[in-house]
Amino acid sequence: MTDVPARPPLTELAEEEQMFRDSVREFAEAQIKPLVHPMDIEGKFDVRLLRQFFDMHLMGIEIPEVFGGTGCSFFMSILAVEELSRVDASAGVVVDVQNTLVNNAIMRWGNEKQKSKYLPQLASGKLGAYALSEAGSGSDAFSLQTKAELRGDYYVLNGQKLWITNALEADLFILFATVDPSQGYRGITAFIIERNFPGLSVGKKEDKLGIRASSTCELILDNCEVPRENVLGAVGKGYKVSIETLNEGRIGIGAQMIGLAGGALNYGIQYAKQREQFGQSISKFQAIQFQIAELATELEAARLLTYNAARMKDATIPFVKEAAMAKYFSSRIAEKVTSQVIEIFGGYGYTKDYPAEKYFRDSKIGKIYEGTSFMQLQTIAKILLGDK
């Protein structure tokens, strides 16, 4: 009998992937790490890093080379988000939104004219944002109230969007509005909106608990004029654009969570080796050893879930359940890891002089944005139970 070759571990990387991961890690350690604390305190992302992201080709990872991107895999985007988030989750989410939401939406749903116009911009210097949420439509995303009225060659949009990541710096927005509120989700339509379109303005920037350097703002649409040709996909199909894009985006959030959890745990291990109590480093105490071992095991499980979902997406295998599992479990483990790392640091972990408390603050958002943990559980249950 011939032995069946064992499937390589999901965390085993091809040479190209390994080199890419290492280059992003080196960049994050050298260029982002010195800026993490001041960006967190000021609540502002250093625009010099944005330019470096583009120079390193991190903002168009999946965009085909013909449009100025690198033409790499979705998995490579996940590696980039993970490695950046090991140092700063705010940096990770900037790259995540660009690649897994904005670029993916245009690559999948854009027509050739839209792709030719916008993908080169997104690959070379234009930052994107994804505008779905509103004050009254969080988990119930399709109860949105922003309206789009066709007037000749333009749609005129009126409404307000909230919690929009990258909004302060963004040049392009994938924005959702309804052309007919009476049609429910069948009226929702996706639009590509440029920052300089008349009637669009960026409003209040939120003062957040975590990922403070990442801008989160409201968008105000006051008779905003959007050319008819900027409908993304088709009129009334925005719900499909949104659902299918967010399925991919959730894997990106999983990557952000395993990245920041890994960064926090690494600090915890280093500190445990250095901190001495009762004549020896605290890493010699079994309680600390078991705590670290358990956290590392659960983090590895979260990484496997995330990598598996990303590999499935690249292989065009249905991955909705796996994406939901990856986001749900990774955000849960990130909160646990970062919380217990604070305890390893003891009193120092509760101060801003050490990075543990920031990792903890940054982890909380993982259970909230791009679908709460309860929504992920609902998705998983529906698929397992065969509910429509």
- Residue 1 domain-assigned (yes or no): no
Q: Could you tell me what percent of the chain has a pLDDT over 70?
A: 97
**What's residue 110's pLDDT?**
98
Beta carbons within 10 angstroms of residue 192's beta carbon:
24
Question: Do 99 and 147 belong to one domain?
Answer: no
| Helix or strand run (H / E) with residue 177 | strand 172-178
- Residue 10 domain-assigned (yes or no): no
Query: Collapsing DSSP states into helix, strand and coil, what is residue 79?
Result: helix
Question: Do 273 and 321 belong to one domain?
Answer: yes
- Residue 7 domain-assigned (yes or no): no
Q: For residue 146, which phi and psi values (nearest 5 degrees)?
A: -60, 130
- Residue 182 domain-assigned (yes or no): yes
- Split into its structural domains, the chain has a count of 3
Query: Collapsing DSSP states into helix, strand and coil, what is residue 39?
Result: helix
- Residue 118 domain-assigned (yes or no): yes
* CATH (domain of 113): 1.10.540.10
Angle, in degrees to the nearest 10, between helices 238-274 and 89-96: 160
Two tokens at 76?
A: 């490579």
Question: Do 296 and 272 belong to one domain?
Answer: yes
Q: pLDDT tens-digit profile of 312-354? A: 999 999 999 999 999 999 999 999 999 999 999 999 999 999 9
- Residue 8 domain-assigned (yes or no): no
- Residue 39 domain-assigned (yes or no): yes
Question: Do 146 and 269 belong to one domain?
Answer: no
Beta bridge partners of 130: 174
Question: Do 210 and 252 belong to one domain?
Answer: no
Question: Do 250 and 347 belong to one domain?
Answer: yes
Question: Do 256 and 318 belong to one domain?
Answer: yes
Question: Do 256 and 226 belong to one domain?
Answer: no
Beta carbons within 10 angstroms of residue 270's beta carbon:
11
pLDDT average per 10 residues of sequence, the chain (388 residues)? 49 90 98 98 97 98 98 98 98 98 98 98 98 87 91 98 98 98 94 98 97 98 98 96 96 98 98 96 97 98 98 97 98 98 97 97 97 96 89
- Amino acid, single-letter form, for residue 333: I
Question: In this structure, what is the dihedral angle of CA atoms 260, 253, 336, 328, given to the nearest 10 degrees?
Answer: -160
- Residue 276 domain-assigned (yes or no): yes
Beta bridge partners of 159: 221
**What's residue 72's pLDDT?**
97
Domain end among 236, 255, 280: 236
* CATH (domain of 356): 1.20.140.10
Domain range for residue 286?
240-385
Average pLDDT over all residues of the chain: 95
Domain end among 127, 156, 179: 127
Q: What is the end-to-end Cα distance of the chain in Å, rounded? A: 44
Question: Do 74 and 51 belong to one domain?
Answer: yes
| Helix or strand run (H / E) with residue 268 | helix 238-274
Angle, in degrees to the nearest 10, between helices 238-274 and 356-363: 160
Beta carbons within 10 angstroms of residue 102's beta carbon:
26
Catalytic residue among 82, 134, 218, 370: 370
Question: Do 320 and 212 belong to one domain?
Answer: no
Domain end among 236, 251, 278: 236
Question: Is residue 370 annotated as a catalytic residue, yes or no?
Answer: yes
Question: Do 206 and 147 belong to one domain?
Answer: yes
For the entire predicted model, the pTM comes to: 0.95
* CATH (domain of 226): 2.40.110.10
Question: Do 308 and 279 belong to one domain?
Answer: yes
**What's residue 223's pLDDT?**
98
